[in-house]
Structure formats: C-alpha cells, structure tokens
C-alpha cells in the first residue's frame, strides 16, 4: 500500500494556465505538507496543515492555494502558472507537528512552458 500518494506524477502546461496537484495519505497522520524542490535540488517548505488547519504558510506567491478537505488529503492549486513555477512538488505527512518524522510522496514534476 502506498503511504503518501500524489497525482499527477508529471504535469506539463503553458504559462498562464491553472493546475492542481492532489495528495492523499493512508497513514492516519494529522499533519500534511507541501514542499517545492527547485532545479538545484533545494527542498523548501511551502505549506503545512494540521487537522485541516493551515499552520505554516511560508513566503509563497498567493497564486498558490492549498486546500485540505480532510486530514487524509491536501491539494495544491496554482493559478496563472509562470516559468519559475517549474519544479518538483512533494507532499509529505507526519503523525503530528514537529518533532515527528515526515514521510514524502513520490512527487509531481511540473514543467511550465
């Protein structure tokens, strides 16, 4: 069974489009995260939700909007995509907020042309 899953795995789209990435975890965890890994492989937190409540919102353009319909799901919607949004987006989950261990999904490679 996949613990943290994401769809789609690859996403190729044009500038200006709107797209969504979905994440689901079956670990029974309370906390979920979105991370962005850029072309230099630097992994950075974007958002964190705990029990469907937004806890961490790093300096991210407001074109990015996370939504957590329930504890097991965390989606990321991106409006007006830009070239600089091209990256790999990882979803992760943990039992609760830090210091608990985080487990990552397989990632979504977004390419904006």
Residue numbers of the site for another protein (CB under 8 A)? 33, 40-45, 48, 55-56, 58, 90, 97-99, 101-107
3-state secondary structure 51-112: CCEEEEECCCCCCEEEEEEECCEEEEEECCCCHHHCEEEEEEEECCCCCCCEEECCCEEEEE
Q: Smallest distance, Å, CB 88 to another protein?
A: 9
Q: Smallest distance, Å, CB 22 to another protein?
A: 16
Q: Smallest distance, Å, CB 32 to another protein?
A: 13
**In this complex, which beta carbon is closest to another protein, that of residue 45 or of residue 72?**
45
**In this complex, which beta carbon is closest to another protein, that of residue 14 or of residue 40?**
40
Q: For residue 110, give Cα distances in angstroms to 10, 85, 93, 97, 99.
A: 6, 8, 20, 27, 30
Question: Counting every residue, how long is the chain?
Answer: 113
**In this complex, which beta carbon is closest to another protein, that of residue 44 or of residue 63?**
44
**In this complex, which beta carbon is closest to another protein, that of residue 15 or of residue 54?**
54
Q: Smallest distance, Å, CB 71 to another protein?
A: 17
Dist CA 27 CA 103 (whole Å): 10
């Amino acid at each position: 069974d996949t613990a943290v899953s994401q769809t789609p795995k690859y996403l190729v789209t044009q500038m200006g489009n709107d797209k969504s990435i979905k994440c689901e975890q079956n670990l029974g965890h309370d906390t979920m995260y979105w991370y962005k890994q850029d072309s230099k492989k630097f992994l950075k937190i974007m958002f964190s939700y705990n029990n469907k409540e937004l806890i961490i919102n790093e300096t991210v353009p407001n074109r990015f909007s996370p939504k957590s319909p329930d504890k097991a799901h965390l989606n990321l919607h991106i409006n007006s995509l830009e070239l600089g949004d091209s990256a790999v987006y990882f979803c992760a989950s943990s039992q609760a907020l830090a210091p608990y261990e985080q487990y990552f999904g397989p990632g979504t490679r977004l390419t904006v042309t």
